[in-house]
Structure 1
Amino acid sequence: MKKRTAFTMIELVMVIVVLGIVASIGAEIVTKLYENYLRTRAINQLQSQTEITLEQIAKRLQFRIKDSVRASDDNGTTWSALPSAIVGFGIIEWIGISNESFLGEWDGASVVPGWSGLIDMEHANTALATLTLETPGSRLDFANNTINALTNNTVTMDVAGTNRPAIIFKGTKPGTFANYYPPTPTYENNVTCIANNCAANPTTFSLPGGLANLNGNANGDLYEQYYLVHTAYALVPIGGANDFNLTLRYNYQPWAGEAYDDAAVVAAERILAEHVSTFRIRQDGDVVRIKLCIHDNNQSGNFDFSACKEKVIY
């Protein structure tokens, strides 16, 4: 007769205990791995979001009219020039060069700039009597097409009764940043094409409001070099001091009496980043430094990560 053997009760209990220990260790390892994955994903997302937001801001600030930049830390009640301000939880506003329309279009042979940035002072079309300026090398019809597209046809040089782009001369301008904004914008010169027809007059500006008087005499002031502008920009934080959305407002023309807090501008604002904890911007000379921190707001679990990056703009 064969003798059969089996596990004893003690052996079975020991096996169960060992398996329980192994299972608990394994579960803890899996939990830790999953938490590390969530942390890594959250940090990578925050870093990418911070970098993308800074890049969006930098590309617009890169093409700024430098002496138009102003800042406010009391919701627009008072303003100061950026070099004398460090903006933390505050607003920054500037007028942007119309770089997109400067790049121009393909004319069938080459890419032609929309505007050249130069006025031919000796040309017959440059005359205060007719309020026209000759800008050689320009294709104002190309520039106008681009501005139309960027503003949903609300800013144009070939339709009467709409907001117009403006030129800002590079010459010395007395005054301060306040001269760019309502209630008394004075540095911008409204421009259209002659007879509101850019295709027929692609190199000549018309000045329906005349030239701005910058030096205080009775005559308008004319300089050889200019920038074309079609919008101002404002970065506006919305929310609490340590957790807010950073929004961008655009497609408004201070030279037409519009402001960053007009209802239509606010309604069209775009959120650049959510859950921003820090946004600081300062200017040293012509160099602008931006610091941006975005936090996770516990979206990836019971932890709140933050990513901070800085960018320098010349």
Structure 2
Amino acid sequence: MKKAFTMIELVMVIVILGIVASIGSEIVLTLYKNYIQSRAMNQLEIQTELTLEQIAKRLQYRIKPSTIARRENGNFTGLSNSDNSYSIIEWIGYSNESLLSSPPGWSGFIDLDHVNTNKTARTLKTTDSNLTFTGNTMSALTEGAVDLTAGREAALIFQTAYNAGDFGWAQNNINTNGTATIRVIRNTDDILTINYAIDIPTDIYEHYALAHSAYAIVPSNFNSTDFNLTLRFNYQPWLGQNYNSNGNEVLAEHVSLFQFKQDDTVIRLKLCLHDNNETGTGDRIAICKEKVIY
């Protein structure tokens, strides 16, 4: 006698297989959702870290007293006096690229006892410098905006105490931009000439730095939790320019928070990025990181 499945048994098997299949598909969907969320988090982690590293690399070469915080309306203060109402960080960086040669493009030292260090003649003897190399390097970096010639001066900044407002941030007038940034041109390979009588400093110090650009980190939207973070560069406050004058590079998209503060000489940055729901799961994934720059 042959035995066969009854209709009830077949129905029960089909029902059980359906239950198993539905449970399996839910597991697969959950695993896939977890995978794409993990992938998005990893990408945000990397992007956030790289963005902070780019900012930190620029800030590493900052002229520390020049660093300011600025509001959207243009008001600014020294970074140490700022709070979260300031959304832009701005600074002048010393020209590290033109420093790196052998001998260095500029030595960073003024020979105070040399006959060619003369306030009346407006000349500064900077022994062991290669100012031709310096001018050429600055010109390449600024697309000709600074090359140590008249009208395209670099800024010389003595290593002494300055207030943040002494660096030309107010943009009032090209001849009253401040006492910290002294406009200089190349006289010979180791002599700089102060190019404007108004820029003659009260005192001349032994140590100095040369600068070819200021930098700013600027949000694309000041009243949003979804904006691009941009690096502004190749502008010269000592020549009457501001951060809207020239270079503009997007550092990160879909930024929800960018904050900074200064503790003594240490700058703390906080950056939060989100994925704009690119996973399609309905949840916006966000990553926040902090970095300290000395």
Q: Same fold (TM over 0.5)?
A: yes
1:157-203 deviation digits (Å, cap 9, x = unpaired): 2x554x22111011344xx3222122232221112212xxxxxx322
CA-CA distance at 1:118 after TM superposition = 0.3
User: Which residue of 2 is the match for residue 102 of structure 1?
Assistant: 99
Q: Does 2:77 match 1:80?
A: yes
User: Which residue of 2 is the match for residue 188 of structure 1?
Assistant: 181
Q: Retained in 2: the 8 A contact 1:185–1:254?
A: yes
User: Which residue of 2 is the match for residue 179 of structure 1?
Assistant: 166
After superposition, residues 24-35 of structure 1 pair within 5 angstroms as 24-35=22-33
Please list every run of 5 or more consecutive structure 1 residues that lacks an aligned counterpart in the other structure.
Answer: 105-110, 195-200, 215-219
CA-CA distance at 1:221 after TM superposition = 2.6
Q: Does 2:271 match 1:273?
A: no
Q: Retained in 2: the 8 A contact 1:232–1:251?
A: yes
After superposition, residues 232-247 of structure 1 pair within 5 angstroms as 232-239=214-221, 240-247=223-230
**Secondary structure at 1:293 match in 2:** strand
Q: Which moved more, 1:9-18 or 1:291-300?
A: 9-18
CA distance in 2, matches of 1:98, 1:249: 16
Question: Structure 1 83/89 Cα, relative in aligned 2: closer, same or farther at 3 Å?
Answer: closer
CA distance in 1, matches of 2:183, 2:37: 53
CA distance in 2, matches of 1:180, 1:292: 27
Q: Retained in 1: the 8 A contact 2:150–2:195?
A: no
User: Which residue of 2 is the match for residue 107 of structure 1?
Assistant: none
- Within the candidate set 161, 172, 193, 1:206 is matched to 193
After superposition, residues 1-314 of structure 1 pair within 5 angstroms as 4-76=2-74, 78-87=75-84, 90-104=87-101, 111-157=102-148, 159-161=149-151, 163-173=152-162, 176-181=163-168, 182-183=171-172, 184-186=176-178, 187-194=180-187, 201-210=188-197, 212-214=199-201, 220-239=202-221, 240-262=223-245, 265=246, 268-301=247-280, 302-314=282-294
TM-score (norm 1): 0.85
CA distance in 1, matches of 2:265, 2:143: 33
1:17-71 deviation digits (Å, cap 9, x = unpaired): 2221222122111111110111101111111111111111111112111111111
Q: Retained in 1: the 8 A contact 2:213–2:235?
A: yes
CA distance in 1, matches of 2:156, 2:198: 10
**Secondary structure at 1:35 match in 2:** helix
1:217-260 deviation digits (Å, cap 9, x = unpaired): xxx43111101101111111122332221111110100001112
Paired positions, count: 286
In the alignment, residue 100 of structure 1 is paired with which amino acid? E
Q: Which moved more, 1:289-298 or 1:12-21?
A: 12-21
CA distance in 1, matches of 2:119, 2:86: 46
Q: Retained in 1: the 8 A contact 2:116–2:124?
A: yes
**Secondary structure at 2:115 match in 1:** coil
CA distance in 2, matches of 1:18, 1:292: 51
Q: Retained in 1: the 8 A contact 2:194–2:200?
A: no
Question: Structure 1 62/299 Cα, relative in aligned 2: closer, same or farther at 3 Å?
Answer: same
**Secondary structure at 2:235 match in 1:** coil
Q: Retained in 2: the 8 A contact 1:101–1:142?
A: yes
Please list every run of 5 or more consecutive structure 2 residues that lacks an aligned counterpart in the other structure.
Answer: none
1:242-287 deviation digits (Å, cap 9, x = unpaired): 222111111010000111234xx3xx31111111111111111111
TM-score (norm 2): 0.90
1:126-152 deviation digits (Å, cap 9, x = unpaired): 223432211112222222232122112
**Secondary structure at 2:43 match in 1:** helix
CA distance in 1, matches of 2:86, 2:52: 16
CA distance in 1, matches of 2:12, 2:161: 90
Question: Structure 1 144/168 Cα, relative in aligned 2: closer, same or farther at 3 Å?
Answer: same
In the alignment, residue 164 of structure 1 is paired with which amino acid? E
Question: Structure 1 89/237 Cα, relative in aligned 2: closer, same or farther at 3 Å?
Answer: farther
**Secondary structure at 2:192 match in 1:** strand
Q: Retained in 1: the 8 A contact 2:182–2:200?
A: no
CA distance in 1, matches of 2:283, 2:55: 28
Q: Retained in 1: the 8 A contact 2:228–2:254?
A: yes
